[in-house]
Chain A
Amino acid sequence: MLLRHEGFRRLCRARDLLLDTRERPLTIHELARDIQISPFHLIRQFEAVFGSTPHQFRQASRLELARQLLASGQHSVTEVCMEVGFSSLGSFSVLFTRRMGETPSAYQRRMRRVFAVPCLVSQHLMPGCLTLMGRIPRSSWPE
């Protein structure tokens, strides 16, 4: 498939709208209407470019945000669930577990264990690539 500039621009806008958690989430039909293509073409082209459907993309971005919030240790699982846009704690837990391999609470407990113990290795000695990859919050490192 060859995507011309205008089509590419539309898909980028769709991606940005899907990542915007401030407003009420747009339905696929609303999204398609906003970028002026049919829902069928939106789903097909979006998946071809980004490797997932718009729904899957939005869900993945929410779960990634949830992962970061849980790792920070400053919010309860329920608070994180609501913050990232899930209305059901049960659904959130199932999806998080499926994606991350452990429940939200287990993940948060594991992160607390990792960073609650005085770190034997100074942050400066930790390979930068690991901290960058893991997006370990700066607040997690002991002074």
Chain B
Amino acid sequence: MRIKLTSIMVDDQEKGLRFYTDVLGFRKKHDIPVGEYRWITVTSPEGPDDVELALEPNANPAGKAFQTAMFTQGIPLAAFEVADLAGEFKRLTGHGVVFTKEPTPAGPITLAVFADTCGNLIQIYQRA
């Protein structure tokens, strides 16, 4: 059993795709119409091409309620590993990304948290 697909809810799939590709630097892999929505997945150019992140719509009120509650509590819904946290913090800040936690040592890692403009807080971390 392998982990090949994970997902995160976004409040607008087109907005989410633009942020996760143009700002975060992921690459679109799939973009398939599914009724009113799209099956959109992205991959990292720094990782295997078959590990995908799906950008799912949060149309279900239960999903929206969960997403909103986690956001309000300041809890990230995904975490991505980076090689240079200070560099990423500077790069993303230059893109206008809002951080709720600047690079902060946390045991074996250093982490930071930002808003992805689609209803989520995202954590990026660098191993020591």
Contact = CB atoms under 8 A, between A and B. Distances in A.
Interface of A: 1-3, 5, 8, 12, 15, 45, 48-52, 60, 64, 68, 100, 129-130, 132-135
Contacts of A129: 56
Contacts of B98: 1-3, 45, 48-49
Most buried by A among B12, B74, B100: B100
Contacts, number: 64
Contacts of B57: 133
A52 B35 CA distance: 25
Classify the interface of chain A: helix, strand, loop or mixed: helix
Classify the interface of chain B: helix, strand, loop or mixed: mixed
A130 B34 contact: yes
A114 B53 CA distance: 30
Contacts of A12: 71-72
Most buried by B among A2, A12, A129: A2
Contact of A1 (B15, B59, B96, B117): B96
Contact of B34 (A50, A68, A100, A133): A133
